[in-house]
Amino acid sequence: MPLLSVENLKAYFFTMKGPVKAVDDVTFSLERGDVLGLAGESGCGKTTTALAILKLLPEPGRIVNGRIIFDGMDLVKLSEEEMRRKVRWKRISLIFQGAMNALNPVFKVGDQIAEAIMLHEDVTKEEALERAAELFEMIGIEKSMINRYPFELSGGMRQRAMIAMALACRPDLVISDEPTTALDVIVQAQVLKLMTKLKDELNLSFIVITHDLSVIAEVCNKVAIMYAGKLAEIGDVVTIFKKPMHPYTQGLIGAFPSVKEKKELISIPGYPPDLLNPPKGCRFHPRCKYAMDICKKEEPEMKIIEGHRVACHLY
């Protein structure tokens, strides 16, 4: 049984103009020890998918269909109290986008990590602070730094502190939303190396949300490409990077520079669609150079082609 199985998930934001179909019929699974990269343009539904898994959608968003099976539990059916007590932080944790600014500047870093531990486990503050110190050592920060305030830490150290907080209750799955945003390339490399080390040592599973394909190539073994609230393609990283099949995936990879060879960068024409009123048929067809009449009328089914799944009428 997969650790996480998302089945036909739909998460909409209900506005006065109508429902915004931010996540529309998304299906994927995650095995223990897997690192899944969730990639796509801004606004394609990556972060909404993550928030839906933890049932943290802000108003006026809600899950309207689908199942989220985590270790045998259907999270969609759990109450808010059950999610807080059984799942969030204890089994699934989240490193928020802009994690460097997620720490409260007027409380010491160690106290904030200890608070997360005490909320979910029956331990004293001294025990929680001791674990926070151990977590700091694990992620490569001197344990005395738990007594510092967030503004006394560098950007890379604050990012590592957020990773420590995500690991505080020993979860099975960590969802990381843009883990290298606003970090310089040296610190980015350190954070990605740390995530790989933690995955191997603790047998963690990760979902890494990013628009940076180099991050996916570095740390992930699976990749799911999202476009306009739907999955376009999903499979193992090597197969998809070597032979992308969906025109959108081809466009993303074609627009990414290579350090190994000179190549002309190819941009994807047009703009992502309005999810209040998405195009009929394939949502990518207005921007696709291979678009056919059927693409404008019928939504493509997800098919298994050469070892990975792709939703495109070309196949």
pLDDT of residue 99: 62
The percent of residues in the chain predicted with pLDDT above 90, rounded, is 55
> How many whole angstroms separate alpha carbon 276 and alpha carbon 13?
9
Cα distances (Å, whole numbers) of residue 289 to 247, 269, 277, 295: 8, 9, 22, 11
Mean pLDDT of 155-172: 84
Residue 154 has pLDDT above 90, yes or no: no
Mean pLDDT of 217-230: 92
Predicted confidence band of residue 211 (pLDDT cuts 50, 70, 90): confident
Residue 264: CB atoms within 10 A of its CB come to 5
Element (H, E) at 195: helix 185-202
Most confident of 101-115, 138-152, 230-244: 230-244
Do 162 and 100 contact (CB within 8 A), yes or no? yes
> How many whole angstroms separate alpha carbon 224 and alpha carbon 235?
7
Place of tokens 């945003």: 181
Cα distances (Å, whole numbers) of residue 222 to 33, 241, 281: 11, 11, 27
Report the range of poorest mean pLDDT among 6-20, 72-86, 91-105, 159-173: 91-105
Q: Thinking of the domain 4-91+171-311, which architecture would CATH place it in?
A: 3-Layer(aba) Sandwich (3.40)
Report the range of poorest mean pLDDT among 67-76, 102-111, 167-176, 256-265: 256-265
Predicted confidence band of residue 182 (pLDDT cuts 50, 70, 90): low
Residue 180 has pLDDT above 80, yes or no: no
SS3 per residue for 69-98: EECCEEHHHCCHHHHHHHHECCCEEEECCC
What tens digit of pLDDT does each residue of 285-298 get? 999 999 999 999 99
Mean pLDDT of 4-26: 95
> Residue 67's closest CA among 24, 12, 7?
7
> How many whole angstroms separate alpha carbon 287 and alpha carbon 178?
26
Mean pLDDT of 189-212: 84
pLDDT of residue 303: 92
pLDDT of residue 155: 78
pLDDT of residue 306: 81
Report the range of poorest mean pLDDT among 29-33, 124-128, 196-200, 261-265: 261-265
Phi-psi category of residue 283: left, alpha or beta, with phi > 0 → left and psi -120 to 50 → alpha: alpha
Report the range of poorest mean pLDDT among 144-148, 159-163, 177-181, 272-276: 177-181
Residue of higher predicted confidence among 106 and 186: 106
Predicted confidence band of residue 100 (pLDDT cuts 50, 70, 90): low
What are the sequence ranges of the domains in the chain? 4-91+171-311, 99-170
Give how far the C-alpha of residue 174 lies from the chain's centroid of Cα atoms, to the nearest Å.
9
Mean pLDDT of 101-128: 88
Residue of higher predicted confidence among 199 and 19: 19
